[in-house]
Amino acid sequence: MGRLFLVFVLSFSISAVVAQIKYPEDYFIKPLKIPLILSGTFGELRSNHFHSGLDIKTQQRVGLNVHSSAKGYVSRIKIAHWGYGKAIYITHPNGYTTVYAHLKKFAPKIEAYVKKHQYEKESYTIHLFPEANDLVVEKDEIIAYSGNSGGSGGPHLHYEIRDGNAKPINPMFFGVEIPDTRIPEIRAGVVYSFGDSSHVNQSSRLKELKIIKKKNGTLTTNQIEAYGTLGFGINVIDKQNGALNNNGIFSLEMTVNGKKVYEHKVDTYAFSETRYLNSLIDYGRFYHKRQRIQKCFVEPANKLSLYRNLVNKGYLQVEDSLSYTVKITAKDYKGNKRSLIIPIKGKKDTVLVTKKITETPNYFKANEFNKITRDNITVAFPKKSFYNDVYFKFDYKDGIVSLHNQSIPLHKNFTLTFDVSKYSKEKRKQLFIARKNYKGKLYYTNTRRKENKLYALNKTLGNYTLVLDSIKPKIVPINFKNNQSLTKYRYLKFRISDNLSGVKFYRGEIDGEWILLEYDAKKRLLTYDFNDKKLIGTKHTLKVTAIDNVNNTYVYIASFNRKE
Ligand SMILES: [Zn+2]
Q: Residue 340: its pLDDT value, please? A: 98
Residues in the chain: 564
Query: In this predicted model, which residue has the larger pLDDT, 508 or 7?
Result: 508
Query: Of all residues in the chain, what percent carry a pLDDT higher than 70?
Result: 96
CA of 266 to the centre of ligand 1 (A): 15
CA neighbor of 368 nearest in space, from 348, 384, 346, 388: 384
Per DSSP, the three-state class of 17 is helix
CA of 73 to the centre of ligand 1 (A): 22
CA of 54 to the centre of ligand 1 (A): 6
Is the predicted pLDDT of residue 410 greater than 90, yes or no? yes
Confidence of residue 6 (pLDDT cuts 50, 70, 90): very low
Q: What amino acid occupies position 218?
A: T
Q: Residue 8: its pLDDT value, please? A: 46
Per DSSP, helices labelled H in 274-414 are: 277-280, 283-289
Residues 430-445 pLDDT 10s? 999 999 998 999 999 9
Is the predicted pLDDT of residue 4 greater than 70, yes or no? no
CA of 263 to the centre of ligand 1 (A): 25
Question: Burial level of 536, CB count in 10 A (0-12/13-18/19+)?
Answer: exposed
User: 493-527 burial, b for 16+ CB within 10 Å, e for fewer?
Assistant: bbebebebbbbbebbbbbeeebbbbbbeeeeeebb
CA of 536 to the centre of ligand 1 (A): 43
User: 361-388 burial, b for 16+ CB within 10 Å, e for fewer?
Assistant: eeebebeeebebeeeebbbbbeeebbbe
Alpha carbons 310 and 555: distance in angstroms, whole number: 61
Residues 449-471 pLDDT 10s? 998 999 999 999 999 999 999 99
CA of 129 to the centre of ligand 1 (A): 22
User: 417-445 burial, b for 16+ CB within 10 Å, e for fewer?
Assistant: bbebeebeeeebbbbbbbbbeeeeebebb
Is the predicted pLDDT of residue 7 greater than 50, yes or no? no
Mean pLDDT of the 114-128 span: 98
Please state the three-class secondary structure of 444-472 as a single string. Answer: ECCEEEECCEEEEEECCCEEEEEEECCCC
Within 10 angstroms of residue 344's Cβ, the number of other Cβ atoms is 24
Please state the three-class secondary structure of 182-238 as a single string. Answer: CCCEEEEEEEEEEEEEEEECCECCCEEECCEECCCCCEECCCEEEEEEEEEEEEEEE
CA of 55 to the centre of ligand 1 (A): 5
Mean pLDDT of the 199-215 span: 96
CA of 158 to the centre of ligand 1 (A): 4
CA of 340 to the centre of ligand 1 (A): 29
C-alpha to C-alpha distances, 48 to 242, 412, 421, nearest whole angstrom: 28, 12, 36
Q: Residue 73: its pLDDT value, please? A: 98
Mean pLDDT of the 114-122 span: 98
Residues 481-501 pLDDT 10s? 999 999 999 999 999 999 999
CA of 26 to the centre of ligand 1 (A): 23
Mean pLDDT of the 89-93 span: 98
C-alpha to C-alpha distances, 219 to 185, 187, 256, 259, 339, nearest whole angstrom: 10, 10, 16, 19, 6
Mean pLDDT of the 194-205 span: 95
CA of 110 to the centre of ligand 1 (A): 22
Q: Note whether 125 and 61 are within 8 A (CB).
A: no
Q: Residue 216: its pLDDT value, please? A: 82
CA of 127 to the centre of ligand 1 (A): 19
Is the predicted pLDDT of residue 15 greater than 70, yes or no? no
Q: Residue 20: its pLDDT value, please? A: 57
Residues 123-138 pLDDT 10s? 999 999 999 999 999 9
CA of 164 to the centre of ligand 1 (A): 20
Is the predicted pLDDT of residue 27 greater than 90, yes or no? yes
CA of 519 to the centre of ligand 1 (A): 21
Q: Note whether 468 and 499 are within 8 A (CB).
A: no
Residues 150-182 pLDDT 10s? 999 999 999 999 999 999 999 999 999 999 999
CA of 102 to the centre of ligand 1 (A): 8
CA of 270 to the centre of ligand 1 (A): 16
Alpha carbons 553 and 551: distance in angstroms, whole number: 6
User: 169-182 burial, b for 16+ CB within 10 Å, e for fewer?
Assistant: bbbbbbebebebeb
Alpha carbons 429 and 548: distance in angstroms, whole number: 12
Within 10 angstroms of residue 317's Cβ, the number of other Cβ atoms is 14
Q: Residue 19: its pLDDT value, please? A: 52
CA neighbor of 236 nearest in space, from 303, 190, 177: 190
Q: How far apart are the first and last CA of the chain?
A: 86
Is the predicted pLDDT of residue 33 greater than 70, yes or no? yes
Is the predicted pLDDT of residue 283 greater than 80, yes or no? yes
Mean pLDDT of the 230-248 span: 96
Within 10 angstroms of residue 534's Cβ, the number of other Cβ atoms is 7
CA of 148 to the centre of ligand 1 (A): 11
Residues 543-552 pLDDT 10s? 999 999 999 9
CA neighbor of 466 nearest in space, from 367, 376, 371: 376
Mean pLDDT of the 520-535 span: 95
Is the predicted pLDDT of residue 403 greater than 90, yes or no? yes
Alpha carbons 149 and 102: distance in angstroms, whole number: 4
Is the predicted pLDDT of residue 11 greater than 80, yes or no? no
User: Which residues have beta carbons under 5 A from ligand 1 (an ion)?
Assistant: 40, 55, 158
CA of 309 to the centre of ligand 1 (A): 29
Q: Residue 550: its pLDDT value, please? A: 97
Q: What average pLDDT does the chain have?
A: 95
Is the predicted pLDDT of residue 373 greater than 50, yes or no? yes
CA of 80 to the centre of ligand 1 (A): 15
Is the predicted pLDDT of residue 14 greater than 80, yes or no? no
Residues 307-343 pLDDT 10s? 999 999 999 999 999 999 999 999 999 999 999 999 9
CA of 151 to the centre of ligand 1 (A): 9
Mean pLDDT of the 234-239 span: 98
